[in-house]
C-alpha cells in the first residue's frame, strides 16, 4: 500500500513537471539560432567604388558572388541534395527512446475501442526501440534515384541561372559602353555646331550671311543639344541596369574598359545547333527531370510489393506491480502485404507515369526552342557583323560629304541647308558606327549564351 502511494506521488510529480515545461514553452519567446551559410560566412570581396575601373571579367565575378538569383538557385540545389539524404535515411536503423508511466484501478482492463482487452498495470518504465527495413523490393531505391536526379537537375539550374545573370551583365556592360560612345559623339557634335553657329552669327553681323543661315545653324545646334540630353539620360539608365545586373540595389558608376572586338561568326549554323543541344544547362537539367520522373513512376509501381522490417525493444521497469518483470526485451519481424486500398496505388502510378510523359514532352519542346533561338541568334550575329563594314563605309562617305559641304558653304557655293543636311548625316553615321560595334559584341555574347558557352 505504501509503495502504491509512493508511485502515485511520483506520477503526480512528473505530471506537474510536464505542465511546467509546457507553460514555459508557451510563454517564453522562441529563440532560433541562425547558422551562417557558406555565402554569409565567406569573406566579402572588395566592391568597386564609384568611378572605379571595371573590366568585363571583374563585372562577371561580382555578379556571380553578389546576385541574389544565383544565391537562391544555390540554396535550392542544397535543399534538393538534402532531399536525397531524407529518402536514403530509411536504409539506416531507426532508434527511439521512450518513458511510460501508468496508474490504474485494480484489475482494470480496456473494454471498448479495441478488439482485445488488455490489463493495465501500475508502472513507470523507460526503454529503447530499434527498427530496420529489411527490404521493400526496390521502391526505396527508385525513390533515391528520383531524388538524386532531381538534385542533379537543380545543380544544372544553378549553372543556367548563372548563365542568365552573366548574359545580362554582358549586355548591360556593352550598353554602357555604347551609351558612353554615343554621349561622346553628342558632345563633339554640340561643340562643332556651336562653333558653326558662332561663326555664322559673326558673319551675319558683318552682313556676309543672312539671318536665315543663323536660324538654320541654331536649329542644328538645338538638335545636337537634344541628342546630348538623350545620350546623358541613356547613359544613366545603362548604369542603373548594369548595377542591377551586378546585384546592387543602388545605382553605381564605373569606368568600364573596352573589350576587343570578336572575330567573324561561323559560316554554318548546323554545328552550332548540335553544340547547343549538348551543352545548354537547361536541356541537361530537363533530362535529369525526365529521369527523375521515370524513377518515381517505377517507385509508385512498387507500392504493390510487400515490405519486410525487423524490430527490437528493451528497457527496465523500476516502479511496477509485482506481476511485472524488472527488465524486458523482445525482437521480431513484420511483413506488410498490400491487398486493397480502393485502387489508390493504381491511381498514383498512373499519375506518376503521366507526369513522366509530360517531362519528356517538355524536353522536346525545349530542344526545339533552343534550336530556333540558336538560328535566330546566328542570323543576328551575321547581320551585325555585316553592319560593321557598311557603317564604316557610311561614316567615311558622310565625313567626306561633310567636308565638301563645309568647304562649299565657306566659299559661298552652297546654302546653309546643304551644310545642315551634311552635319545631320555625319552625326547619324557616327552613331550608327558606334551602335554597330557594340551591337555586334552584344549579339556575339548572346550567341555564346545560346550555345551554352556562358557558365
pLDDT at 84: 94
Task: Please check whether residue 210 lies inside any domain of the structure.
Answer: yes
Are 280 and 370 a contacting pair, CB within 8 Å? yes
List CB contacts of 191: < 8 A, sequence separation 6 or more. none
Task: Please check whether residue 175 lies inside any domain of the structure.
Answer: yes
Helix, strand, or coil here: 294?
A: helix
* Grid cell locating 404: 565638301
pLDDT at 52: 80
pLDDT at 213: 87
**Domain residues for 290?**
59-102+122-450
User: What is the distance of C-alpha 173 from the center of its chain?
Assistant: 20
105-141 burial: b if 16+ Cβ within 10 Å, else e: eeeeeeeeeeeeeeeeebbbbebeeeeeeeebeebbb
| CA gap 388, 385 in Å, rounded | 5
Selection from 309, 253, 282 nearest residue 373 by Cα:
282
Q: What stretch of H or E contains 96?
A: strand 94-102
Per-residue pLDDT of the chain (455 residues; tens, 9 = 90+): 444 444 454 444 444 444 444 444 443 333 333 333 333 333 344 444 446 889 999 999 999 999 999 999 999 999 999 999 999 999 999 999 999 888 888 878 887 876 777 888 888 899 999 999 999 999 999 999 999 999 999 999 999 999 999 999 999 999 999 999 999 999 999 998 999 889 889 888 888 788 888 888 899 899 999 999 999 999 999 999 999 999 999 999 999 999 999 999 999 999 999 999 999 999 999 999 999 999 999 999 999 999 999 999 999 989 888 888 888 899 999 999 999 999 999 999 999 999 999 999 999 999 999 999 999 999 999 999 999 999 999 999 999 999 999 898 888 888 888 888 999 999 999 999 999 999 999 999 999 999 999 98
pLDDT at 114: 66
| CA gap 199, 210 in Å, rounded | 12
Distances (CA, A) of 77 to 138, 235, 376, 389: 26, 37, 32, 46
CATH number at residue 333: 1.20.1600.10
Task: Please check whether residue 244 lies inside any domain of the structure.
Answer: yes
Domain count, the chain: 1
> Could you count the other beta carbons within 10 Å of the beta carbon of residue 386?
13
pLDDT at 51: 63
Task: Please check whether residue 50 lies inside any domain of the structure.
Answer: no
pLDDT at 212: 86
| CA gap 298, 291 in Å, rounded | 11
Task: Please check whether residue 115 lies inside any domain of the structure.
Answer: no
Phi first, then psi: give them for residue 412, nearest 5 degrees. Answer: 75, 20
Are 178 and 237 a contacting pair, CB within 8 Å? no
Going through 202-282 in order, the beta strands assigned E by DSSP cover 254-256
Task: Please check whether residue 117 lies inside any domain of the structure.
Answer: no
User: What is the distance of C-alpha 389 from the center of its chain?
Assistant: 38
For CA atoms 378, 382, 385, 390, the dihedral sign is negative
Amino acid at each position: 500500500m505504501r509503495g502504491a502511494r509512493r508511485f502515485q506521488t511520483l506520477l503526480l510529480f512528473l505530471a506537474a513537471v510536464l505542465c511546467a515545461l509546457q507553460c514555459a514553452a508557451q510563454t517564453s519567446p522562441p529563440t532560433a539560432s541562425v547558422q551562417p551559410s557558406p555565402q554569409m560566412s565567406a569573406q566579402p570581396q572588395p566592391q568597386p567604388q564609384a568611378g572605379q575601373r571595371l573590366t568585363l571579367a571583374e563585372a562577371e565575378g561580382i555578379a556571380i558572388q553578389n546576385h541574389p538569383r544565383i544565391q537562391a538557385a544555390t540554396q535550392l540545389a542544397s535543399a534538393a541534395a538534402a532531399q536525397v539524404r531524407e529518402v536514403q535515411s530509411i536504409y539506416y536503423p531507426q532508434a527511439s527512446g521512450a518513458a511510460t508511466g501508468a496508474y490504474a484501478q485494480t484489475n482494470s482492463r480496456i473494454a471498448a475501442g479495441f478488439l482485445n482487452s488488455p490489463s493495465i498495470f501500475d508502472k513507470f518504465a523507460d526503454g529503447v526501440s530499434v527498427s530496420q527495413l529489411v527490404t521493400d523490393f526496390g521502391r526505396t531505391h527508385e525513390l533515391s534515384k528520383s531524388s538524386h536526379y532531381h538534385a542533379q537537375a537543380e545543380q544544372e539550374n544553378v549553372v543556367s541561372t548563372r548563365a542568365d545573370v552573366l548574359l545580362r551583365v554582358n549586355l548591360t556592360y556593352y550598353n554602357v559602353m555604347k551609351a558612353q560612345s554615343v554621349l561622346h559623339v553628342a558632345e563633339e557634335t554640340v561643340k562643332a555646331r556651336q562653333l558653326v553657329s558662332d561663326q555664322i552669327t559673326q558673319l551675319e553681323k558683318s552682313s556676309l550671311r543672312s539671318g536665315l543661315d543663323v536660324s538654320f545653324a541654331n536649329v542644328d545646334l538645338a538638335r545636337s543639344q537634344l541628342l546630348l540630353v538623350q545620350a546623358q539620360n541613356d547613359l544613366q539608365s545603362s548604369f542603373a541596369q548594369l548595377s542591377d545586373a551586378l546585384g546592387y540595389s543602388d545605382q553605381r558608376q564605373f569606368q568600364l574598359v573596352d573589350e576587343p572586338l570578336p572575330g567573324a561568326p561561323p559560316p554554318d549554323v548546323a554545328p552550332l545547333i548540335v553544340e547547343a543541344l549538348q551543352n545548354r544547362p537547361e536541356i541537361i537539367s530537363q533530362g535529369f527531370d525526365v529521369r527523375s520522373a521515370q524513377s518515381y513512376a517505377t517507385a509508385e509501381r512498387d507500392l504493390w510489393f510487400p515490405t519486410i522490417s525487423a524490430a527490437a525493444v528493451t528497457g527496465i521497469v523500476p516502479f511496477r506491480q509485482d506481476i511485472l518483470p524488472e527488465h524486458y526485451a523482445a525482437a521480431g519481424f513484420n511483413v506488410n502485404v498490400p491487398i486493397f486500398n480502393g485502387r489508390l496505388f493504381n491511381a498514383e502510378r498512373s499519375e506518376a507515369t503521366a507526369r513522366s510523359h509530360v517531362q519528356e514532352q517538355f524536353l522536346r519542346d525545349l530542344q526545339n526552342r533552343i534550336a530556333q533561338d540558336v538560328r535566330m541568334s546566328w542570323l543576328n550575329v551575321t547581320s551585325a557583323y555585316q553592319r560593321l563594314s557598311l557603317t564604316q563605309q557610311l561614316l567615311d562617305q558622310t565625313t567626306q560629304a561633310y567636308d565638301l559641304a563645309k568647304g562649299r558653304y565657306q566659299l559661298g557655293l552652297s546654302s546653309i541647308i546643304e551644310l545642315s543636311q551634311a552635319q545631320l548625316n555625319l552625326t547619324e553615321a557616327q552613331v550608327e558606327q558606334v551602335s554597330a560595334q557594340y551591337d555586334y559584341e552584344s549579339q556575339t555574347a548572346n550567341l555564346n549564351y545560346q550555345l551554352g558557352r556562358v557558365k
